Chain A
Amino acid sequence: MYEIKRKALLANNIKLFEIFAPEIARKAQAGQFVIVRQHEKAERIPLTIADFDRNQGTITIIFQEVGRSTIDLGQLKKGDYILDFVGPLGKESEISKYGRVVCIGGGVGVAPLYPIAKRLHGEGNYIVSVIGARSRGDLIWEEKMRAVSDALYITTDDGSYGEKGFVTDILKRIIGSEEIDAVIAIGPLVMMEAVSEITRPHGIKTVVSLNPIMLDGTGMCGACRVQIGQETKFACVDGPEFDGHLVDWDNAKRRAKMFLQEEKIALEVLRYNCSEGGAHACQKNK
């Protein structure tokens, strides 16, 4: 059992937990993730280690409520316990001295981006960060990102904050005006794909963090397989970071829809339980 030491609401439907897991905190590195199983009947879902505190023994996870498992998780409060918490999984980020690095985060993707930007900054890279969200109320961790960046750009789709438009608009502008050594992009698949297509003609090294459906997270099931160039890789052990120019994006987008039908059913059951005032706690404690 793993205790929730702190809970915060960061933006619309985006929540933060600090979980007491000292052994994992001892080993965690930027780029790695944990698998969370909330209770006996829950799914195992992967969430990135957004931060860690080796002294306090905590792991920070940030998640967006998009479906049954993340909505259930969001109901937990400070002092509650999570049944299973496994990690640190996946490979750590490749951190080196590139020079000038553009770090791009979309939506909740800013959370996994932060520890990587922090490490890259610490290694002496010049960090230009571009973070975006649908709207002002969806944006997270602006201040934390600012603290590890030499320059920070913000976009919102609706123009309610920062520049109106997409993170990719800014990326194009930057590429037009400065020499860039590497790009790290984490966010929705379409965003990471668009970023990779923009950098491809310029031959700029582009790292993306893939988030396929996972089950065990230890290389035992192959649910997380992704097509990288000619090879099939297991994202949970070979990734989650890959060369954006080698990813088969169509395949990744299709595989994300594997259980669309079932995901809808799981949500309907939750709604039904709520409307019945059933066993399920469902007041949205925002």
Chain B
Amino acid sequence: MSKKQVVGKKYAMPVLDPHERIKYFREVATGYTEELALLEAARCLQCKKPLCVEGCPVGVDIPAFIKLILARDYQGAANKIKEKNSLPAVCGRVCPQENQCEKFCVMGKKNEPVAIGRLERFVADWEFEHGEFKPEAKAPNGKKVAIVGSGPSGLTCAAELARMGYRVKIFEALHMAGGVLVYGIPEFRLPKAVVAREIENIKKLGVEIEVNSVIGKLYTIDELISDGFDAVYVATGAGLPYFMNIPGENLNGVYSANEFLTRVNLMKAYKFPEYITPIHTGRRIAVIGGGNVAMDAARTALRLGVEKSYIIYRRSEKEMPARAEEIEHAREEGVEFVLLSSPVEIKGDEDGRVKAIVCQKYELGEPDSSGRRRPVPLENSEYEIPVDTVVMAIGQGPNPLIPATTPELKTNKNGNIIADANTGKTSKPQIFAGGDVVSGAATVILAMGAGKKAAQGINQYLFGGTE
């Protein structure tokens, strides 16, 4: 083999033109072609000690699947990924790779890291188009597990348990399964058809999904146990929207990011009036926050036709928790970043509609416990930005319904359910928990990792072995 020529940069992801794409909700990144995937795969050095794998929370065997791509065995590559990750089409699109697998890739030391996420997506999309899903499940083991919540954590736990031979039923409060993947993350970043296909595959494993079932109201956790479930996995996510408690927050035109995104994604308000759920943005919108949720809201607003879409964030761009790609896409599309600023008041007109947001300026001080430099407000620095809509994307807390109706379930001071990180075990026998409801708002892949560990934890608990 001749000495490998190192290609410094990642092969670029084909994307829709930013001026065009903000006219509709089509997926922005169109995915590698086979040709590009092969070129990018060839950049991988096939390290003996692959550091990239250590950055992946579920330990996907990255060099192995990339090698299979090079051999054009795409089905083999898909199978390899799915040994560790049951939702590759989702993760390839939404994992913050720059902080995970790609952060550790040795190629990244001198050049750009291998585009692991893009390759993962290529393989998953290839399989959807060409492959055939063959559910392999073991003979039924006679045990039943209930899963509360159908986000990535619940879905992963369900798939794992079904493969081990469990009868699994998922209870979902909304009318559609998928959690944040369907109500939060927009179509232009994660097409709902992709999520639907993943869910179909999980159903093919025999998993039953009962939508419109609010646990805590329709049935309590205790009732699920007395109805014959041997264990329950609580994966209800971090769905409780936070507000800032500043004056004017209850004016017309102030939404939580959850409301804004749910109207558009789950209820398809962008197709109003064909779909009957309304959304109202006016001409200018301010989104408060610097995470993925904020980027999604600001970019969604552009597609709904606003003229100005601002992101207002307390720190500087460097500290923004959003994925690098989302920040870049937002900027290309025309989102304006108002940094080192935070709202102190929202002003309304005589009809109670938002007309402006008053912000205070900040500067960066010493690093805080998170290692990021702490924002410090500057006195007498208030200024006003005229806007018609404000979206609060400053974070979400755990939904309190389950703890409130399950007294023995211990929570921490933030209301997160306390569960063992390796097994998902909670303070109550037979009850396991994981994902955002335990960790606080985190990432898809971490929620999936927790689902997987809980499946093993449940199996251990019920059979005393790991199979």
- Residues of A in contact with B (beta carbons under 8 Å apart): 23-24, 27, 37, 41-44, 68-69, 72, 83-89, 215-216, 218-223, 225, 227, 232, 237, 250-251, 254-255, 257-259, 261-263, 265-266, 269
Asked if residues A266 and B262 are in contact (CB atoms below 8 Å), the reply is no
**A43-B212 in contact (CB<8A):** no
- State the main secondary structure of chain B at its contact with A: loop
Which residues in B have their C-beta under 8 angstroms from that of A215?
259, 262-263, 267, 277
- Identify A227's interface contact among B250, B262, B272, B351, CB under 8 A: B250
Residues 264-292 of B, flagged 1 when their CB comes within 8 A of A and 0 if not, give: 00011000111111111000000000000
Q: Within the complex, which residue of A84, A250, A263 is in contact with B175, where a contact is CB–CB below 8 Å? A: A84
In the complex the two chains form, what is the Cα distance from A69 to B258 in whole Å? 22
B241 pairs with A86, CB closer than 8 A: no
Let me know if A218 and B214 touch, CB within 8 A: yes
Having A89-B217, A225-B250, A266-B272, one finds 12 other A-B pairs with CB under 8 Å, namely A23-B218, A37-B175, A44-B175, A87-B214, A87-B217, A88-B217, A219-B240, A219-B401, A220-B258, A255-B352, A257-B351, A257-B352
A72: nearest chain-B partner, CB-CB: B276
- By a beta-carbon cutoff of 8 Å, the part of chain B in contact with chain A is 173-175, 211-214, 217-219, 239-241, 243, 245, 249-253, 255-256, 258-259, 262-263, 267-268, 272-280, 351-352, 399-401
Is B276 a contact of A86 with CB atoms below 8 Å? no
Contact between A262 and B280 (Cβ–Cβ < 8 Å)? yes
How many A-B pairs have beta carbons closer than 8 Å: the answer is: 117
On whether A266 and B400 interact (CB within 8 A), knowing A44-B267, A232-B243, the answer reads: no
Question: B252 near A221 (CB under 8 angstroms)?
Answer: no
Q: Is B276 a contact partner of A41 (Cβ separation < 8 A)?
A: yes
Residues in B neighbouring A41, C-beta threshold 8 A: 268, 274-276
- Within 8 Å CB of B272, what residues of A? 262, 265-266
- B219, B258, B268, B273: the one contacting A265 at CB < 8 Å is B273
> Contact check: which of B217, B273, B351, B400 meets A254 at CB < 8 Å?
B351
Q: Most chain-B Cβ atoms within 10 A of its Cβ — which of A23, A220, A258?
A: A220
B280 adjacent to A259 (CB under 8 Å): yes
A218 contacts B276, CB within 8 Å?
Answer: no
Q: Kindly list chain B residues whose C-beta atoms are within 8 Å of the C-beta of A27.
A: 217-219
B212 near A84 with CB under 8 A, answer yes
A220 to B216, CA, bound (A): 14
Q: How far is the CA of A250 from the CA of B464 in the complex (A)?
A: 60
A198–B431 Cα distance when bound, in Å, is 50
A88-B218 contact, Cβ under 8 Å, with A216-B174, A266-B276 = yes
